[in-house]
Amino acid sequence: MQLSKMPFKQFTILFIAFVLSLSACKDNKKIIKQTEVTFTKEGELTIFKVSDSTKVTLDIEIADTDFDIQTGLMYRNSMKKQQGMLFVFDDETERFFYMKNTKIPLDLIYISASKSIVSFQKNAQPFDESSLPSNGPAKYVLEVNAGLVDTWGLSVGDIISF
């Protein structure tokens, strides 16, 4: 009599295990929403064009901590025309940026320790992880919306002040 009850118990245990495993595979319907990262004005920056003495003034956010430098403008949906992010480094060396997790196209302006423009990377495309080098020593990097370097007519040698 004991032998005939064993298969039933085994069947019952297997059936319960099966039902529990199905409930564990239930779709997880949690939705994770990215928090909107907004611009925080931390200063003003002026670009002085050497060729004709005109100037461009921007509100800037400053990236000067390791976290801010690593994050930059990632996860932002937009930035206004008169806004930018200024990266401030401790040393002057060749810089390499990329557009990982960056949703908006940008112009990158590489700037020396003496605050003159060294080079540009224009129209950097969203999510592109290609290296964007400064091609020379830079202590600062200014990121603005793509196309503004040409709109403003900036040149290597123009000076910034912040």
Of 36-40, 90-94, 142-146, which gets the smallest average pLDDT? 36-40
Instruction: Read off the CATH number of the domain in which 54 is found.
Output: 2.60.120.1140
3-state DSSP call for residue 51? coil
Rounded Cα–Cα distance for residues 125 and 100 (Å): 10
Domain-embedded: residue 48: yes
How far is 41 from 60, CA to CA, in rounded Å?
6
* Single-letter code of the amino acid located at 91: D
> Residue 28 falls within a domain, yes or no?
no
114 has pLDDT over 70 = yes
pLDDT in tens, 44-53: 999 999 999 8
Task: Look at residue 24 and tell me if it is in a domain.
Answer: no
> Can you give the residue range of the structural domain that contains 145?
43-161
**What pLDDT does 14 receive?**
59
Domain for residue 75, yes or no? yes
In a domain, 135, yes or no: yes
CA distance 133 to 17: 57
Using an 8 Å Cβ cutoff, are 106 and 61 in contact?
A: no
The number of distinct structural domains making up the chain is 1
Residue 64 lies in a domain: yes
Q: What is the pLDDT of residue 101?
A: 95
Distance (Å, whole) CA 132 – CA 137: 13
Q: Say what the pLDDT of residue 63 is.
A: 97
Residue 3 has pLDDT above 80, yes or no: no
CA distance 60 to 45: 7
- CB-CB contact of 55 with 47 (8 Å): yes
What predicted TM-score, i.e. pTM, was given to this entire model?
0.79
State yes or no: pLDDT of 34 exceeds 60: yes
Query: For residue 147, how far is the Cα from the chain centroid?
Result: 18
